[in-house]
A and B are shown apart, each in its own frame.
Chain A
Amino acid sequence: MKVRFNHISANPGAMQTMLKLEGFIQTSGLDSRLYELIKLRASQINGCAYCLDMHTRESRKMGETEQRIHLLHAWREAPFYSEKERAVLELTEAVTRISEQGVPQDLYERVRTHIDEAEYVTIIMAINTINAWNRIAISTGMFPETETR
Chain B
Amino acid sequence: MRLNYMKVQPESLQTLLKLEGYVKKSGLDHSLLELIKIRASQINGCAYCLDMHTKDARAMGETEQRLFMLSAWREAPFYSEEERAALALTEAVTKISDAGVPQPLYEQVRKHFDESQFVNLIMAINAINCWNRMAISTGMVPGDYQPAVQK
Interface residues of A (CB under 8 A from B): 4-5, 7, 10-11, 13-14, 17, 20-21, 24, 28, 45-47, 91, 95-99, 102-103, 108, 117-118, 120-122, 124-125, 127-128, 131-132, 134-136, 138-141
Q: Which of A10, A20, A117, A128 is within 8 Å of B8, CB to CB?
A: A117
Task: Chain A residues near B70: list those with CB within 8 A.
Answer: none
The answer to whether A139 touches B101 (Cβ under 8 A) is yes
The answer to whether A124 touches B44 (Cβ under 8 A) is no
The answer to whether A124 touches B138 (Cβ under 8 A) is yes
A5 to B101 alpha-carbon distance, docked (Å): 14
Task: Chain A residues near B3: list those with CB within 8 A.
Answer: 117, 120-121
Most A CB atoms within 10 A — which of B43, B96, B106, B130?
B96
| Listed A/B pairs (29) with beta-carbon separation below 8 Å | A4-B106, A10-B115, A10-B119, A11-B116, A11-B119, A13-B22, A14-B119, A14-B122, A14-B123, A17-B19, A20-B15, A20-B19, A21-B15, A24-B15, A28-B11, A47-B96, A98-B44, A99-B43, A99-B94, A108-B2, A117-B3, A120-B3, A124-B12, A124-B133, A132-B126, A132-B129, A135-B93, A135-B126, A139-B89
A102 to B49 alpha-carbon distance, docked (Å): 14
The answer to whether B45 touches A98 (Cβ under 8 A) is yes
Contact with A along B56-94 (1 / 0, CB 8 A): 000000000000000000000000000000000100011
Task: Chain B residues near A121: list those with CB within 8 A.
Answer: 3, 5, 8-9, 12, 134, 138
Task: Tell me if A's interface is mostly helix, strand, loop or mixed.
Answer: helix
Interface residues of B (CB under 8 A from A): 2-3, 5, 8-9, 11-12, 15-16, 18-19, 22, 26, 43-46, 89, 93-97, 100-101, 106, 115-116, 118-120, 122-123, 125-126, 129-130, 132-134, 136-139
Task: Chain A residues near B125: list those with CB within 8 A.
Answer: 135
A138 to B9 alpha-carbon distance, docked (Å): 30
Most A CB atoms within 10 A — which of B94, B120, B123, B125?
B123
A96 to B130 alpha-carbon distance, docked (Å): 10
